[in-house]
Amino acid sequence: MKIIPLPVSQSSGTRYNKEKISDEKIIMGIINHHDKVIERVYNEYHRKIKKMVYTFRNSALDPDDIFQEGLTRAIMNIREGKFKGDSSFLTYLNGICRNICLKELSKQKTGSLGAKDFISEHEDTNYELLVNLLKVRENFDRNCLKIIDLRFGLGEEENKGSAFEEIASKLDISPENARQRFKRCLDRLRDIVFKDHELRNFFNQ
């Protein structure tokens, strides 16, 4: 990924216009390569993004690096015409940076399906959906997740779905029991997903 040089955070002795810069000026400034606009964006939104990163309560996430990468990606997306203006610039930037946080956290996870299975390089605008999906998994029964992951081949070691006989062997239950558990767990997961407005709309597209 190409890294766009961004300004270094200024000292407290430097004064800036306290009037909030408009989204229109931000977009046009980025498109036209106006360094002063990017500097304004950096200084106005840096602290807000850092605050968001701190909400993850994970020392492995470097707020400065995440902001740098997120702003660089936002700038590139805008210049390539990928930003459609469906949200404010801050919401868009926050979404990209949150997505980066989730991907970084997924690298630390072990076990079955994690954030990396939901997030791709081109899903920055869908971060709310991704967060909701991850919350579904985090709050779902661990035993159910295990049997679903085995069935669909979503674990770290599996690269294809397992037959119920294999699942039964791994879980020390009968094949029929494995089949019944899988059906119940899948029904529960389906109910949770389709009770969520955003997730339901996404799957109905």
Q: For residue 135, what pLDDT band results from cuts at 50, 70 and 90?
A: low
pTM value is: 0.51
Q: What are phi and psi of 100, to 5 degrees?
A: -60, -40
CATH code: domain of residue 180:
1.10.10
| Residue 116 covered by a domain | no
Percent residues over pLDDT 90 in the chain: 29
Q: What are phi and psi of 2, to 5 degrees?
A: -70, 130
| Residue 115 covered by a domain | no
Report the distance separating Cα 44 and Cα 117, nearest Å.
33
Tokens of 153: 């081949």
| Residue 120 covered by a domain | no
Return the top range by mean pLDDT from 31-35, 56-60, 108-112: 31-35
- The answer to whether residues 29 and 38 touch, using CB atoms and an 8 Å cutoff, is yes
Give me the domain span that covers residue 22.
Answer: 1-108
Q: List, in order, residues 6 or more apart from 111 with CB less than 8 Å away.
A: 155, 156
